């Protein structure tokens, strides 16, 4: 059975706190969703702001292969004619093949928000839908606050749906706008609606009770054929129904067909996070970096013997991958799986495994964290295996921080680095001490390793390990580095934040060179 997906990331999702898409962001997301196979994409509210005006003008020239673009708006205003209403006219001017409008279902909103009569509200719904249909559009009617409205007055809530159906709406969308409806309650209401209405039905759930995904899935099981939601569940307040969770649940667990390219799901989730300038949720189901990450020794032992023992699906089905974490909670199996990347024939009881496991636990006791710093872990493993030599060595570095009378701060780093027996001495400035240090390292190393220009700092975190010693506390610096679509983490620990930063920065570059420019490392022969 088919379920039609409707993405409202660019409109409802953009209403989430801290999210602001530029026109370019929105256009890129539309193209990514089209490649993914999303049937319907809601682009925004034409005329609501200059950004959406420009978006719809430029969207007319997009050559979409699978998606139909929708413009969003409301019914006409009380006591106004649909054909003269500015909101409806702007929807037509957007020239999208699909138009979605919302109307009032709940008597509270009719009388206290719209301040009109129940009869006038029904007229507004019917005339607005009929006008848009007359312009040749596919029209979806969002019954705002439907479930609250139904609970308050079932007859009037159904009357609003009949009004939209009378106008010719192609789909009636039942909205849990306040996100407070319980799943069984929602299903019972949907069953009643299906007995009263012959038109196709959709669901638009909000997550204020943490139930948007569950409500959307149960709605489908009760006959709903369109699901509206956002990528990563972005949206106002607690967010919207998360399509990233809904889609694989429908496809893989319930055997519904959505028509999307499921192996692109993880990539889509990360892409939209980047466009929204938000850090991806690591433990997000299906697509998060931790979704198939195993840390406990028993779990690792089980999943390596039979993946079904601790994984509910094959990660590749959603474009994700398994990760075996190594930490002081790990058993030999965790570490062995990592070592085998570089020494496939090593045995579980090898002294090297024992030595590495003990060293790892000692380092984590000191404050190191390798589950978030796999780059540092791989360097440690290769050094212990004797198949890695550093590409460079820091001989000395000095940091100068100045503050003038105009309250201007400046940072300068002087560093000496040995590369292939040659000492390089450079001075560099930065907006802060870590930036100055990064600039100095790059200035010294990029002439020898040009690929470093393509590696960029993606994230920098500082954590105090023991707050009882005040400003002389031991600190941990975690750095995430990006090269293309790949990222890796490295870690440094010290009572001196700059020394910890230097450790993490140096290892981030060493790992990048080891992985992406092995011919520049002395251990290249050992890797082959």
Q: Is residue 511 part of a domain?
A: no
Number of structural domains the chain divides into: 2
Least trusted range by pLDDT, from 103-112, 216-225, 226-235, 458-467: 458-467
| Residue where a domain terminates, one of 232, 260, 288 | 260
| Interval 180-199 mean pLDDT | 96
CB 430 within 8 A of CB 413: yes
HSE (side-chain half, CA atoms, 13 Å) at 432? 6
Q: Is the dihedral of CA 80, 85, 91, 93 positive or negative?
A: positive
Q: Is residue 68 part of a domain?
A: yes
| Residue where a domain terminates, one of 409, 433, 448 | 448
At 334 the pLDDT is: 65
Give the N- to C-terminal CA distance of the chain in Å, as an integer.
50
**At 104, which CATH number?**
3.20.20.70
At 528 the pLDDT is: 28
At 86 the pLDDT is: 93
Query: pLDDT tens, 457-505?
Result: 888 888 887 666 666 778 889 888 989 878 888 999 998 889 999 999 9
Nearest-5° Cα angle at 335, 307 to 368: 120
Question: In this model, does residue 111 exceed pLDDT 90?
Answer: no
CA–CA gap between residue 423 and residue 417 (Å, rounded): 6
At 492 the pLDDT is: 92
Question: In this model, does residue 389 exceed pLDDT 80?
Answer: yes
Tokens at residue 202, please? 């959709």
| Interval 3-8 mean pLDDT | 98
- Contacts of residue 400, defined as CB under 8 A and 6 or more positions apart, other chains included, come to 411, 412, 413, 414
Tokens at residue 439, please? 């600039």
CA–CA gap between residue 349 and residue 351 (Å, rounded): 6
Share of the chain above pLDDT 90, in %: 59
**At 404, which CATH number?**
3.30.160
Question: In this model, does residue 324 exceed pLDDT 70?
Answer: no
Q: Is residue 401 part of a domain?
A: yes
At 470 the pLDDT is: 65
Nearest Cα residue to 85 out of 97, 73, 96, 99: 73
Per DSSP (E only), the strands in 145-225 are 171-176, 201-205
Question: In this model, does residue 141 exceed pLDDT 70?
Answer: yes
Question: In this model, does residue 71 exceed pLDDT 90?
Answer: yes
Statement to judge: residues 253 and 402 lie in one domain: no
Residue 82: how many other CB atoms lie within 10 Å = 23
Q: Is residue 416 part of a domain?
A: yes
Residue of 376 and 132 predicted with greater confidence: 132
At 74 the pLDDT is: 95
185-204 burial, b for 16+ CB within 10 Å, e for fewer? ebbebbeebeeebebbbbbb
Share of the chain above pLDDT 70, in %: 94
Q: Which domain holds residue 25?
A: 4-260
At 524 the pLDDT is: 32
| Residue where a domain terminates, one of 260, 280, 301 | 260
Instruction: Provide the mean pLDDT of the chain.
Output: 89
At 297 the pLDDT is: 67
Question: In this model, does residue 229 exceed pLDDT 70?
Answer: yes
- Residue 240 has φ and ψ, to the nearest 5°, of -105, 175
Q: Is residue 140 part of a domain?
A: yes
| Interval 37-41 mean pLDDT | 98
Query: pLDDT tens, 356-385?
Result: 888 877 887 787 877 668 888 888 888 888
Tokens at residue 252, please? 């893989």
CA–CA gap between residue 197 and residue 161 (Å, rounded): 8
CA–CA gap between residue 15 and residue 20 (Å, rounded): 8
Residue 300: how many other CB atoms lie within 10 Å = 24
Tokens at residue 282, please? 């690591």
Statement to judge: residues 186 and 42 lie in one domain: yes
Determine the angle formed by the axes of helices 332-339 and 374-385, rounding to 10 degrees.
80
| Interval 155-160 mean pLDDT | 97
pLDDT band at 97 (very low <50, low <70, confident <90, very high): very high
Helices within 410-516 (DSSP H only): 433-445, 497-516
Which of the listed ranges 182-186, 334-338, 425-429, 433-437 does the model predict with the highest average pLDDT?
A: 182-186
At 522 the pLDDT is: 36
Q: Is residue 279 part of a domain?
A: no
Q: Is residue 122 part of a domain?
A: yes
At 410 the pLDDT is: 85
Query: pLDDT tens, 288-302?
Result: 988 887 777 677 677
Helices within 367-458 (DSSP H only): 374-385, 433-445
Residue 5: how many other CB atoms lie within 10 Å = 23
Q: Is residue 363 part of a domain?
A: no
Residue 471: how many other CB atoms lie within 10 Å = 7
- As beta bridge partners, residue 479 has 460, 490
pLDDT band at 335 (very low <50, low <70, confident <90, very high): confident
Per DSSP, the three-state class of 429 is strand
At 521 the pLDDT is: 44
Question: In this model, does residue 327 exceed pLDDT 80?
Answer: no
Question: In this model, does residue 330 exceed pLDDT 60?
Answer: no
At 293 the pLDDT is: 78
| Interval 172-183 mean pLDDT | 97
Nearest-5° Cα angle at 271, 265 to 276: 130
Question: In this model, does residue 352 exceed pLDDT 90?
Answer: no
């Amino acid at each position: 059975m088919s379920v039609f997906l409707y993405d409202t990331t660019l409109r409802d999702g953009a209403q989430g706190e801290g999210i602001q898409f530029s026109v370019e962001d929105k256009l890129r997301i539309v193209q990514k969703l089209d490649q993914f196979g999303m049937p319907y994409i809601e682009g925004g509210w034409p005329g609501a702001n200059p950004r959406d005006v420009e978006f719809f003008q430029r969207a007319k020239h997009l050559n979409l292969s699978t998606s139909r673009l929708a413009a969003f708006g409301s019914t006409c205003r009380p006591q106004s004619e649909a054909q003269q209403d500015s909101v409806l006219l702007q929807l037509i001017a957007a020239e999208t093949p699909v138009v979605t409008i919302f109307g009032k279902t709940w008597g509270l909103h009719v009388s206290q928000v719209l301040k009109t009569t129940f009869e006038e509200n029904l007229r507004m719904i019917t005339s607005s839908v009929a006008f848009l249909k007359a312009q040749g559009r596919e029209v979806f009617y969002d019954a705002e606050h439907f479930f609250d409205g139904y609970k308050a007055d079932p007859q009037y809530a159904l009357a609003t749906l009949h009004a939209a159906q009378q106008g010719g709406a192609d789909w009636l969308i039942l909205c849990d706008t306040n996100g407070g409806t319980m799943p069984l309650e929602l299903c019972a209401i949907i069953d009643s609606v299906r007995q009263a209405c012959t038109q196709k039905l959709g669901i638009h759930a909000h997550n204020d009770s943490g139930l948007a995904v569950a409500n959307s899935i149960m709605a489908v099981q009760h006959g709903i054929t369109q699901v509206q939601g956002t990528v990563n569940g972005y949206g106002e307040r607690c967010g919207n129904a998360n399509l990233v969770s809904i889609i694989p649940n429908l496809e893989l667990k319930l055997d519904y067909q959505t028509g999307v390219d499921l192996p692109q799901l993880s990539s889509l989730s990360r892409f939209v996070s980047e466009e929204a300038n938000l850090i991806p949720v690591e433990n997000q189901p299906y697509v998060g970096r931790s979704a198939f990450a195993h840390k406990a020794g028993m779990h690792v032992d089980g999943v390596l013997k039979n993946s079904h023992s601790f994984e509910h699906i094959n990660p590749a089905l959603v474009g994700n991958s398994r990760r075996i974490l190594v930490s002081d909670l790990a058993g030999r199996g965790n570490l062995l799986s990592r070592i085998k990347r570089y020494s496939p024939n090593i045995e579980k009881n090898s002294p090297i495994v024992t030595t590495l496991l003990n060293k790892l636990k000692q380092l984590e006791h000191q404050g190191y964290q390798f589950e978030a710093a796999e780059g540092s872990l791989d360097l440690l493993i290769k050094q212990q295996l004797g198949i890695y030599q550093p590409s460079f060595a820091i001989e000395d570095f000095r940091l100068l921080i100045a503050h003038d009378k105009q309250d201007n701060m400046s940072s300068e780093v002087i560093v000496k680095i040995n590369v292939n027996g040659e000492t390089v001495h450079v001075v560099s400035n930065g907006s802060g001490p870590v930036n100055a240090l990064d600039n100095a390292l790059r200035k010294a190393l990029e002439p020898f390793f040009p690929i470093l220009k393509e590696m960029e700092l993606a994230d920098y975190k500082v954590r105090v390990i023991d707050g009882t010693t005040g400003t002389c506390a031991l600190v941990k610096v975690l750095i995430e580095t990006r090269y293309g679509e790949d990222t890796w983490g490295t870690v440094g620990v010290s009572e001196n934040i700059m020394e910890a930063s230097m450790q993490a920065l140096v290892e981030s570059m060493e790992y990048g060179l080891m992985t992406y420019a092995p011919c520049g490392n002395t251990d290249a022969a050992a890797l082959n």
